[in-house]
A = this chain, B = another copy of it.
Amino acid sequence: MRIAVCQSNPIIGDIKGNAEKILAGYKKGVEEKADLVVFPELFLCGYPPLDLVEKKEFRDAVNNSAQQIAAQTNHVGLIFGTITEDYEDKIGTGVYNSAALCYDGKIQFIQSKTLIPNYDVFDEVRYFESAKEISIHEFKGEKLGISVCEDIWNDADYWKKRLYPVDPVQKQTELGATLLINISASPYAYGKRRERLKMLSVLTKNDKLPLAYVCCIGAQTELIFDGGSMCFNPKGELCLLGKAFEEDFFIFDTRHEYKKIESVEDSFEAEVLNALIKGLKDYARKTGFKKALIGLSGGIDSALVTYIAVQAFGKENVHVILMPSKYSSVGSIKDSEKLIETLGISSDIISIQNVVDSALEELKPAFGGKEEDVTEENLQSRVRGLYLMSLANKHGYLLCTTGNKSEIATGYATLYGDMCGAVAVIGDIYKTQVYNICDYINREQEILPQQIIDKAPSAELRPNQKDQDSLPLYDLLDRILKMYLEEQKEFNEISSVIMEPEVVKKVLRLVDLNEFKRKQAAPILRVSTKAFGYGRRFPIVQRWRT
């Protein structure tokens, strides 16, 4: 069987646009003599549609569009992800996350998703019921075992601990499936593509069946879908691999002999850099922003974000502002100017000092003679936020925030100051990873000025301030944070590895206490298995560690 894998980029809620993509892909598949054309999970409405699913008019619009698409099919099969509904169902939502198989002018077969994920960024139980039936469908001489994303992730041979009692793909194998199709929308995290390869390889080898695993690509607010669709032969060998972070279209011919593909992932730095570029690009394209704005501090974070913005928007569409104060070092300005020149972007330099002084003067009586403290530091950051938002409003720039994961975790950032912006580009990257990515960018030539990379990190909000005055060294901090956030470890377990319980305690406390800031943070592009944002839900008012 010739399967056209359509690894495409939908826009959530853009039913018309997504339908056009499906029909264009189908047409191309027919031209390329495919027997079956396959699109990813919930492609017609875009994934994740969230509470849009709760709107009847939305579901009806999706359903109407699905019928219209089906009406345009000929003998070539078309599978796409869509929302279906059982109006007779008296219990539960009656709504399903389904794969629709269409040919000869109508939807001929529907396989709904059986395993409904509800962890991390997944909220599907909120919307979808589990399929009432798991079956296969005979088409052009093959018995198709069609499943949706999570359905294929419960293999008893692969997992030590499983999330669900049922294994839908196992059931389809038992029913006599000769070909497996999985339509998926699986958000990117570094390392996940390798895990997909490993798991799907075990599964196809054990079941002795070929598999077309068709993935989504493109970013939806904070979630990035990386593509990397995979086709396996019955020996468990990877035959074809979709492009990473790009749309792709290719034919998987199950009778053809392919050379086994061994490697599916690039280095952390290369992968994540591409992910973030795609994430920012799609945020802008799907919201209609054409130009980006960044506040350039002279530090490494804003330099990296500016570099990413240049890749996403083109250098002619990136504008930066330098906003020095009396605490800004000469180096910061010089380094920023060098970066501006190297990247070929436009800039403004606007001092914050007059406005800061004016505000402090006005506030003086109300401060009641109290000593200088973090108030004055935050005020500087907030005047910068005010400038950035003013230029963003005036010129229609997309303001990118520049905080990294280490800062966002510990609250080393000013709410309504440097946290201002529409999207936190590197908010899921630890400071030590920021360094690694910058070194990677500079691997062949100095694109980011080396001085920016080499200098000690500083917020420059008071004389001679250094990040390490308030925080542990980033190497140590990031090790603790990674264990706490991504490995779900807790105080005792972390302290048994990091032999500094006081430091561990302080860091964990900072993370927990600063939940209120993250509630009001911009969406963070997600590239790890546990990012701040939708997938981490922590009470703001609580006393577990306080």
Contact = CB atoms under 8 A, between A and B. Distances in A.
A387 B416 CA distance: 12
Given A221-B540, A538-B51, A544-B13, A387 B363 contact: yes
A408 to B, nearest CB: 13
A500 interface: no
A493 B57 contact: yes
Contacts of A354: 358, 361-362
B539 A13 contact: yes
Contacts of A374: 393
Given A354-B362, A521-B520, A415 B386 contact: no
Contact of A541 (B12, B52, B92, B395): B12
Interface string A534-546: 0011111111111
B379 A386 contact: yes
A393 B373 contact: yes
Contact of A52 (B15, B52, B542): B542
Contacts of A367: 390-391, 394
A283 B541 contact: yes
B394 A370 contact: yes
A329 interface: no
Contacts of A389: 378, 382, 415-416
A491 interface: yes
A488 interface: yes
Given A13-B542, A539-B12, A544-B13, A366 B123 contact: no
A445 interface: no
A537 B51 contact: yes
B50 A12 contact: no
A490 B221 CA distance: 23
A140 interface: no
Contacts of A470: none
A54 interface: yes
A133 interface: no
Interface in A46-96: 46, 48-52, 54-58, 90-92
Contacts of A521: 520
A348 interface: yes
Interface stretch (A23-31, A160-168, A474-482): A160-168
Interface in A467-501: 488, 490-493
A490 B516 CA distance: 33
Residue among A50, A161, A390 facing the most chain B CB atoms (10 A cut-off):
A390
Contact of A416 (B91, B125, B126, B420): B420
A162 B94 CA distance: 11
A118 interface: yes
Nearest to A118: B125
Nearest to A372: B394
A370 B395 CA distance: 9
A12 B490 contact: no
A459 to B, nearest CB: 15
A502 B321 CA distance: 40
A198 interface: no
Contacts of A126: 118-119, 537
Interface in A314-369: 321, 348, 350-352, 354-355, 358-359, 361-363, 365-368
Nearest to A61: B544
A363 B382 contact: no
A105 to B, nearest CB: 28
A91 B390 contact: no
Contacts of A286: 541-543
B365 A51 contact: no
Nearest to A385: B416
Contacts of A348: 365-366
Contacts of A12: 539, 541-544
A363 B390 contact: yes
A52 B488 CA distance: 10
Nearest to A364: B350
Given A221-B540, A373-B394, A393-B378, A55 B363 contact: no
Contacts of A287: 541
Question: Would you list the 8 A-B pairs with minimal beta carbon distance, nearest first?
Answer: A13-B544, A57-B490, A13-B542, A375-B393, A14-B543, A12-B542, A416-B416, A348-B366
6 contacts: A13-B539, A46-B539, A49-B539, A221-B541, A321-B366, A374-B393
Interface of A: 11-15, 17, 46, 48-52, 54-58, 90-92, 118-119, 123, 125-126, 161-165, 219-221, 282-283, 286-287, 321, 348, 350-352, 354-355, 358-359, 361-363, 365-368, 370, 373-375, 378-379, 382-383, 385-387, 389-391, 393-395, 415-416, 420, 422, 488, 490-493, 516, 519-523, 536-546
Given A355-B355, A375-B390, 13 more contacts: A50-B538, A57-B490, A118-B125, A219-B541, A221-B541, A321-B366, A350-B363, A352-B362, A367-B394, A373-B393, A375-B394, A386-B386, A520-B520
